[in-house]
């Protein structure tokens, strides 16, 4: 019998069991909690029991997670459809020794680029720049934008802005009010061909020229393509290169993180890298049953592939992690939203879940109604710091913590019909109306959640958190036998957008399009100002 079959049977046998029962007579709260340094992952409020956990751990072992992990860290070409190594971990390997790709140690180059970034960041921070505008999209935007927001208490450099959307509204709103003479524009694009980024970069260059700035001095580029950055007119001294073994959604650790480094300073950026390196070491050294990335992945596999809960909510009770759900959407859904296995055969089961969420407590006043009483079960992943950054507002933090803990408790315990009837009776309802009112106040409960706790959202911890999720995605991908590092699913739309451009502009006949698209184009043409 395969582990998948055993897991399915274990699910069938336990799906109606109350999670609360699992705590009876056991030390489950401790037993279903794992640590990496100061970070704690509690998965006790799930329906995973010891037998299920054993099967999940066996699944991880037999999927050769350890062997594939070692292959990734040692520079093997595990991105098979693009024939590339996957070595974002080298970017944070500050004191970890050589990393070989095709027989060459890449660390001297990585450390030299990091040293150039530090010098550049230092110069920008002391040269009177008021603002930095990072122009990029996807991995060239979400990582630095999320991290800059997350670490705002550590900002002591110029203000940072992020332009990503090709919608002119984005760049127009972001540039409004900026002084072109004291603004640095960073064009962040691994390929330096992405249409959104290159369009925004040209618009920013024209804006700077028009408003008295000097793009020949005030533009920098982050890319794997030195030729294309030179063609754009950016001097090599302000170009920070990286290799194709850094995937876009894994690139915040190197040059793509330059805006973050300018915002918080090179020293704090080092702490960010060290946090990630710390998680890398944990991932490589900890036994599977104590290994946070493995346990997060197995919890995800259990909820998505076995229990068939198609989405997972990421709920940071940490306002500054408000962009984490968007960041994880790219990291998880671009990595594991695949339909075929490594061999090219159709996937045997559903792959990556839909990832979504928002910062607490705001989400409580928006979508938690559905999480608590809706007909679908949504596994929730809470993130919470023991400390905030506002000592004068400690009471806010206590409230925040209480709310986070209350939500996972409410999801697990729910509220029975009897308890709901008491509440309705206390409100004065009687007879059939009491029954009706009570039924609206029932919470089914038994809804799974996990909680990730950390002391404080500082640069080191943020590095740990992001690396934790990167490795979680990796482990899920290995278990699902898919390739997590390519993204062919974004190509078709890009190609069609290019061929539709002349149709939209009116220089090509829309009648060659499918009837729906032709009708939509016709509406746009008719209503164009």
Instruction: Give the catalytic positions in this structure.
Output: 334, 365, 494
Per-residue three-class SS string for 19-85: HHHHHCCCCHHHHCEEEECCEEEECCCCCCCHHHHHHHHHHHHHCCHHHHHHHHHCCCCCECCCCEC
> Structure tokens of 120?
């550049």
Phi/psi for 310 (5° steps) reads -75, -15
Which of 186/307 has CB closer to ligand F6P?
186
Residues that bind ligand F6P (CB under 6 A): 137-140, 189-191, 194, 197, 248-249, 334, 487, 490
CB of 188 to ligand F6P, least distance (A): 7
Phi/psi for 118 (5° steps) reads -60, -45
Which of 233/489 has CB closer to ligand F6P?
489
The DSSP element (H or E) to which 269 belongs, if any, is: helix 266-285
CA atoms within 13 Å, Cβ hemisphere of 202:
10
Which of 138/360 has CB closer to ligand F6P?
138
What is each CA distance from 454 to 40, 145, 318, 407, 462, in whole angstroms?
7, 21, 11, 18, 10
CB of 119 to ligand F6P, least distance (A): 24
Residue whose pair of structure tokens reads 């190197």 in the numeric block? 254
> Structure tokens of 183?
């603004």
Q: Quick one: how far is CA 367 from the chain centroid? A: 20
> Do residues 421 and 439 lie in contact, with contact meaning Cβ atoms separated by under 8 Å?
no
Burial 94-120 (b: 16+ CB within 10 A, else e): eeeeebebeeeebbeebeebbebbbeb
Other Cβ atoms less than 10 A from the Cβ of 374: the count is: 13
CA nearest 187: which of 229, 156, 244?
A: 229
Which of 39/252 has CB closer to ligand F6P?
252
Which of 240/302 has CB closer to ligand F6P?
240
CB of 517 to ligand F6P, least distance (A): 22
Which of 138/459 has CB closer to ligand F6P?
138
Q: How many helices (H) and strands (E) does the chain have?
A: 22, 13
């Amino acid at each position: 019998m395969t582990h998948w079959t055993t897991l399915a049977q274990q699910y069938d046998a336990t799906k109606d069991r109350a999670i609360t029962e699992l705590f009876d007579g056991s030390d489950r709260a401790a037993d279903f909690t794992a640590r990496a340094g100061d970070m704690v992952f509690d998965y006790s409020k799930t329906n995973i029991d010891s037998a299920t956990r054993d099967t999940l751990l066996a699944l991880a072992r037999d999927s050769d997670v350890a062997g594939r992990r070692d292959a990734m860290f040692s520079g093997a070409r595990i991105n098979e459809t693009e024939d590339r190594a996957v070595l974002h971990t080298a970017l944070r390997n500050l004191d970890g020794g050589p990393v070989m790709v095709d027989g060459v140690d890449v660390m001297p180059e990585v450390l030299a680029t990091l040293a150039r970034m530090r010098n550049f960041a230092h110069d920008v921070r002391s040269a009177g720049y008021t603002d930095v505008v990072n122009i990029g999209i996807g991995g060239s935007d979400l990582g630095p934008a999320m991290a800059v927001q997350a670490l705002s208490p550590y900002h002591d450099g110029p203000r940072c802005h992020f332009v990503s959307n090709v919608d002119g509204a984005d760049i127009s709103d972001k540039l409004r009010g900026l002084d072109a003479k004291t603004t640095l524009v960073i064009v962040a694009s691994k390929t330096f061909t992405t249409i959104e980024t290159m369009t925004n970069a040209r618009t920013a260059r024209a804006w700077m020229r028009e408003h008295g700035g000097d793009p020949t001095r005030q533009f920098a580029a982050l890319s794997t393509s030195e030729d294309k950055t030179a063609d754009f007119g950016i001097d090599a001294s302000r170009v920070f290169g990286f290799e194709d073994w850094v995937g876009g959604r894994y690139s915040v650790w190197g040059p793509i993180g330059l805006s973050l480094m300018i915002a918080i300073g090179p020293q704090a950026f080092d702490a960010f890298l060290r946090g990630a390196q710390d998680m890398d070491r944990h991932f490589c050294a900890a036994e599977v049953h104590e290994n946070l990335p493995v346990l997060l992945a197995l919890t995800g596999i259990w909820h998505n592939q076995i229990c068939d809960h198609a989405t997972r909510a990421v709920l940071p009770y940490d306002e500054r992690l408000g962009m984490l759900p968007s960041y994880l959407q790219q990291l998880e859904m671009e990595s594991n939203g695949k339909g075929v296995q490594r061999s090219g055969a159709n996937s045997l089961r559903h792959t990556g879940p839909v990832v979504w969420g928002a910062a607490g407590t705001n989400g409580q006043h928006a979508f938690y109604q559905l999480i608590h009483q809706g007909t679908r079960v949504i596994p929730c992943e809470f993130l919470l710091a023991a400390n905030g950054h506002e000592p004068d507002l400690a009471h806010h933090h206590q409230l925040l913590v209480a709310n986070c803990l209350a939500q996972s408790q409410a999801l697990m315990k729910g509220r029975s019909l009897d308890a709901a009837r008491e509440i309705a009776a206390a409100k004065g309802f009687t007879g059939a109306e009491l029954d009706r009112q009570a039924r609206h106040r029932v919470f089914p409960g038994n809804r799974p959640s996990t909680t990730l706790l950390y002391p404080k959202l500082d640069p080191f911890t943020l590095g740990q958190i992001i690396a934790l999720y990167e490795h979680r995605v990796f482990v899920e991908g290995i278990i699902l036998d898919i390739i997590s590092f390519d993204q062919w699913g974004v190509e078709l739309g890009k190609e069609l957008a290019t061929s539709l451009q002349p149709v939209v502009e009116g220089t090509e006949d829309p009648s060659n399009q499918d009837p729906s698209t032709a009708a939509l184009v016709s509406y746009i043409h008719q209503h164009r100002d």
